[in-house]
């Protein structure tokens, strides 16, 4: 089941995100940052266990970021990550966001959702925000990807559960 995160989920969200941060795959997040951005997060929960997390962070009036996508190792490859991304994109459409971007090491995964590789230079809010705190800045090796939603005619009427 996918649901919006609750206050009681913050510690488990931080643990999962920072597990991947230790591997250099995500930015580490402090518990304070998790609480500050708790409303951004979705969790994939089954039997009381959070198996995955994903956040949709609003950056500007027409721009949002999918961030902190993480699925616990035993559940990877079983659709939880895809379901979380679909839910984040659904919320972006509901909010009227026109473009969603992300930074990733696995662009082929996100191409399935319609994201396309772009130059990081078109994402100034991202570069001067979180990226300045990253140990890899300015030599970032992540790939920037963008999905325009404004040209996504009829997307809100599509059955998002059937999308990749």
pLDDT higher than threshold 90 for residue 54? yes
pLDDT higher than threshold 50 for residue 58? yes
Residue with tokens 């992540």: 142
**How far is the C-alpha of 127 from the C-alpha of 150, rounded, in Å?**
23
pLDDT higher than threshold 90 for residue 52? yes
The residues, any chain, with a CB within 8 Å of residue 135's CB and separated by 6 or more, are none
- Residue-range domain boundaries for the chain: 2-162
Residue 120: what pLDDT? 78
Instruction: Name the more confident of 135 and 120.
Output: 120
Instruction: Name the more confident of 117 and 153.
Output: 117
Task: Give the pLDDT confidence of 140-162 residue by residue, as tens digits.
Answer: 667 889 999 975 543 433 333 33
CATH code for residues 2-162: 3.40.630.30
Say what the alpha-carbon torsion angle 20, 149, 87, 51 is, to the nearest 10 degrees. -10
């Amino acid at each position: 089941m996918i649901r919006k995160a609750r206050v009681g989920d913050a510690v488990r969200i931080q643990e999962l995100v920072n597990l991947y941060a230790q591997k250099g795959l995500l930015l580490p997040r402090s518990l304070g940052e998790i609480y500050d951005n708790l409303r951004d997060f979705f969790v994939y929960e089954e039997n009381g266990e959070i198996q995955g997390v994903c956040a949709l962070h609003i950056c500007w009036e027409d721009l949002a970021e999918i961030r902190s996508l993480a699925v616990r190792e035993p559940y990877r490859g079983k659709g939880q990550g895809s379901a979380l991304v679909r839910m984040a994109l659904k919320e972006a459409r509901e909010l009227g966001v026109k473009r969603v971007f992300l930074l990733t090491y696995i662009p082929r995964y996100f191409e399935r959702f319609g994201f396309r590789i772009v130059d990081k230079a078109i994402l100034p809010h991202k570069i001067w925000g979180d990226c300045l705190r990253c140990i890899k800045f300015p030599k970032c090796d992540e790939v920037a990807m963008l999905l325009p939603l404004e040209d996504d005619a009829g997307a809100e009427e599509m059955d998002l559960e059937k999308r990749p």
